[in-house]
Structure 1
Amino acid sequence: MELRSETPTDAPTRARVARSILENGASTAAQLADRLGLTPAAVRRHLDQLVAEGSVDSAQQRVRGARGRGRPARVFSLTPAGRDHFDQAYDDLAAQALRYLAETGGDEAVMAFARRRVAFVERDHARLMATEPDRDPAEALAQVLTDGGYAAGVRDLPIGHQLCQQHCPVAHVAHEFPQLCEAETEAISHVLGRHVQRLATIAHGDGVCTTSIPDLPARPGSPRTRTAFTP
């Protein structure tokens, strides 16, 4: 097969494809084409290159319910190597600094640093809710985290929400220092005023960080707890 020569626009476009996967999670070629305003053929060409260089891998898309005719679409997701291209260039330096902090100040000093690092979550969430008081707090949290480089979104569940973070700018360091994840989970809990549960983290090899956010129990007499009466 004859390989097409690279054009000056190929590398930036390929970076757009990779960033779209980073920000939106596993995607099909058709979804990427629609999102980026490209043809499916052009997207597949860039995906082939990203797969070849080890930045992206693919798997068959899971289909719920009856499957239609034709082969299932393939979904593409970033590999750990692919994530390395996004703002993780100083991982080694950060890890060395935290090792020194742990040696000189102990685990408590590392945790104090981790809490200070995510202080922006509570600060920025409070500011956002002050300007948009009718906004859903979980949606506002996702916006704050996205602005902080986490590419976050919220899914509605029957018993609450699920916070999904497609990217973690400190994933490699957090693998060695879980206090970074613990402080982040604490901040999410404080912001929303309830206990939350971390289900998966990129730092421990999962494809996305997910946090379960249960609904607060409704107050007695509120519309959610009031029993309907039919005469």
Structure 2
Amino acid sequence: MKSHSSNNKRTTFYFILLTILFRIGVLIIENVKKSTKDKILELLKKDVSLSVNDLTERLYITHMAVRKHLNILEKDHLIKSIEVKQQMGRPLQLYSLTDKGERLFPKNYEGLTVDFLHDIKEIHGENSIKQLFKKREQRLINEYSPRIVHEHTPSEKIKEIVNIQNEKGYMANVTKIDENTFELIEYNCPILAVAKEFKIACQCETEMLKDVLQTKQVNRICCKTDGDDHCRFFIRF
């Protein structure tokens, strides 16, 4: 009986030990998944502003390690710091997220925009959507045209439109086929969610390119809204 009881106690002990080790393992894995910099950004998102001491206590790492990560995040313009005067001693340095840091966290602006456009269509009709996108087309033409003048060569014009589109986040690239023919590829579409719902967005972009580049020969060959990997245009001057 003693042997049986002893075995039961040993089994229970091993079960408890394995449970503890498993939980520790889970915590370690969760810890590894996120870098220290990610954790700092998350803490600042939740608490708005924290000191080095605050972060040291939350992250269980040294002051030196915290400062090292804060310096990197500041150089990347993801966080900022301010000095707060205290009644005694040196001013307290508090860290918080910058606008760039805030943008790292998920937003649903695209979904909201799509919803609004559907509401406008429902209330004011299909033509109201067309008017909105044509208005956007004209606004972009007015914005881009001063940078692409008539005297520019085809190569200069296409190079500048690539620069403009990259500033807007399109990840654009161009290949020269001959002196007057180019292939423009946009690997990213910043308004993809909207364009999938309202194809007129793509049509207006094509028309905008024709106007700004001063050529009617702009043909969209591939489109991300059709399931292609990128948007591709053949442009001839």
TM-score, normalised by the number of residues in structure 1 = 0.52
CA-CA distance at 1:88 after TM superposition: 7.0
CA-CA distance at 1:199 after TM superposition: 1.1
Asked whether the 8 Å contact 1:198–1:210 carries over to 2, the reply is: yes
CA-CA distance at 1:7 after TM superposition: 3.1
User: 1 CA distance for matches of 2:118 and 2:225?
Assistant: 17
Q: Residue 108 in 1 paired to residue 130 in 2?
A: no
Match of 2:209 in 1: 188
Change (3 A) 1:184 1:8: same
What does residue range 54-133 of structure 1 map to in structure 2 within 5 Å? 89-130=108-149, 133=152
Match of 2:36 in 1: 8
Match of 1:146 in 2: 166
User: 1 CA distance for matches of 2:112 and 2:132?
Assistant: 15
CA RMSD of aligned residues (A): 3.2
Q: Which amino acid aligns with 1:191?
A: V
- Percent identity, aligned pairs only, is 23
User: 2 CA distance for matches of 1:10 and 1:106?
Assistant: 45
**Paired residues, what number?**
142
Q: Which amino acid aligns with 2:231?
A: C
Moved more, 185-194 or 175-184: 185-194
Asked whether the 8 Å contact 2:148–2:212 carries over to 1, the reply is: no
User: 2 CA distance for matches of 1:197 and 1:212?
Assistant: 5
Change (3 A) 1:127 1:108: same
User: 2 CA distance for matches of 1:123 and 1:153?
Assistant: 23
- 5+ unaligned residues in a row in structure 1: which ranges? 13-84, 217-231
CA-CA distance at 1:185 after TM superposition: 0.8
Change (3 A) 1:156 1:88: farther
For residue 196 of structure 1, give the secondary structure of its aligned residue in structure 2: strand
For residue 136 of structure 1, give the secondary structure of its aligned residue in structure 2: helix
For residue 164 of structure 1, give the secondary structure of its aligned residue in structure 2: strand
TM-score, normalised by the number of residues in structure 2 = 0.51
User: 2 CA distance for matches of 1:87 and 1:112?
Assistant: 30
CA deviation map 1:134-164 (0-9, x unaligned): 6611111111222222222211124711111
Higher relative contact order (CA 8 A, sep 6+): 1
